[in-house]
Amino acid sequence: MTEDEARAAADSLLETMDKKGHRMAFVEAKASTRYPGEWNVIYDLFSPQGTLIDGPIVVIVDENSAEARLMEGP
């Protein structure tokens, strides 16, 4: 999987979400060093007023299936 493929899978997931006016801006996509076979695609999250919200959105993409899911907190 390439960075562009991982980003495309993550973008597809985010397009299905109701963001309620919030905007997400792509930051980077990189292969996970902790979990082989997964990519981490990172986005900054902005409020409807354009304010950067603390903490990024991370989408995890499975390298084999291209299935994307949101990273869940602890």
Per-residue pLDDT of the chain (74 residues; tens, 9 = 90+): 999 999 999 999 999 998 899 999 999 999 999 999 999 999 999 999 999 998 899 999 999 999 999 987 65
pLDDT on residue 74 = 59
Rg (CA), the chain: 12
pLDDT on residue 18 = 86
Q: List the structure tokens of 7.
A: 């980003």
**Reported pTM:** 0.88
